[in-house]
Amino acid sequence: MSMDYREYILDHYRNPRNYGKLERPDAHAEDSNPLCGDQLAIDLQVEGGLVTEVRFQGRGCAISQAAASMLSEMIEGKSVEEVVQLGKDDVLDSLGIPISPARTKCAFLSLRVLHRSLALAGLEKPREEEEEE
């Protein structure tokens, strides 16, 4: 069973969905994983309270890049309110395999960048950066 999820993660890593950037994003942020330096940037188009387009670019391990790809699929078409609510459990659910404590920074990099992009655009209250348990 978990093999299937490993394949699923590798598929997102090798064929990232929504990879790229937007010409004029309504929300944008980027950040890196302080441990490894891997990077991630997210662009969002927001219209009428909905996230209508998502693009991400990054460089990093399979978990960080697959999580970003899955997150991009998860948020496209959702309302900003719904996206604001997304948390770590949603990311872990989409990855579908247990993530060791050492890899949680990888798994949550895109989530952190997503919330930062919304905060910078004034669409969500800036949150305390939940630094890595």
Of 27, 63, 68, 114, the residue at the interface with ligand FES (CB under 6 A) is 63
Kindly state whether residue 61 participates in binding ligand FES, applying the rule CB under 6 A: yes
- CA 101 to CA 32: how far, in whole Å? 18
26 contact partners, CB below 8 Å, separation of at least 6 = 44, 45, 46, 121
List, in sequence order, every beta strand (DSSP E) within the chain. 27-32, 39-47, 50-59
CB of 72 to ligand FES, least distance (A): 16
By CB under 6 A, the residues from 73 to 102 that bind ligand FES are none
Least Å from the CB of residue 65 to ligand FES: 8
Name the segment binding ligand FES (CB under 6 A); options: 8-16, 46-54, 58-66, 121-129.
Answer: 58-66
Binding flag, residue 120, ligand FES (CB under 6 A): no
Check binding of 10 to ligand FES (CB under 6 A). Answer: no
Token look-up 């919304």 returns: 118
User: Residues interacting with ligand FES, by CB under 6 A?
Assistant: 33, 36, 38, 60-61, 63-64, 106, 109
